[in-house]
Amino acid sequence: GTTRRAAKMVIVNIDHPEVEEFITLKMREEQKVAGLVTGSTICKRYLDKIMAAAQKENTTDWKKNAVLRAVMREAKDLAIPLNYIFRALQLVDQGKKTFPLEVYDTHYESGAYQTVTGQNANNSIRITNDFFDAVENNDDWSLIGRLTGKATKTMKARDLWHTVCDAAWNSADPGTQYDTTINEWHTCPEDGRINASNPCSEYMFLDDTACNLASLNLVKFYDEKTGVFNIEEF
């Protein structure tokens, strides 16, 4: 009933100066979601408990209310901000019963995921055979400044590859594109090299070219009465 969410392919070369930050981007954003979900759940639970304890004893004076004091201490130990704890007491004084706080979940269309970056992007790194040779031989690998052409940082290729693997295990990104192999299979090398692909990576060709995707409704070729799929029309 709605249009598809737009997707984009974002590719960074394996020798780019910012590739390390790019590799871990999705992983760090996923961790933010975990923090939002867990933090909002705990905050809501304990702020409501604080308000319930104050209401039960009919006082927001935590010095006179041992139950309230204990719950407030638990909330503080769980890193719930003090201003929220005291705001809960102020709400009780105003006659409120519960703390107005949204609890997030891990649904991919939830508010938590809407607040983090990169959710409509396929992040991939462009890897050369030289890099894999360096990984295999445990050689150094340098990140090259795009303006100066000089090395900005040097590390073990295996360490960088382990970072890629760890990030992909945590968040399914980044994807990998094999630059050397792709250009070895290039059918129009005289017109330029292949630098990227479409978001789903089935179309690899020259810059500023495109493949218009089409679709067929297979149900239209199926006869429900006979249970036969019309192969000839298809």
- Dihedral angle sign, alpha carbons of residues 64, 101, 49, 57: positive
- Using a 10 angstrom Cβ sphere, with 0-12 exposed, 13-18 middle and 19 or more buried, the burial of residue 83 is exposed
Active site (annotated) includes residue 29: no
Separation between Cα atoms, residue 164 and residue 26, nearest integer Å: 11
Separation between Cα atoms, residue 202 and residue 24, nearest integer Å: 24
Contact 194, 186 (CB under 8 A): yes
Separation between Cα atoms, residue 202 and residue 108, nearest integer Å: 24
Q: Which residues contact 211 (CB under 8 A, 6 or more apart)?
A: 198, 202, 203, 205
* Beta bridge partners of residue 10, listed in sequence order: 123
Catalytic residue among 184, 200, 211, 230: 200
Catalytic residue among 170, 183, 195, 198: 198
Catalytic residue among 202, 224, 232, 233: 202
Active site (annotated) includes residue 198: yes
Active site (annotated) includes residue 202: yes
Residues annotated as catalytic (active site), given as ranges? 198, 200, 202
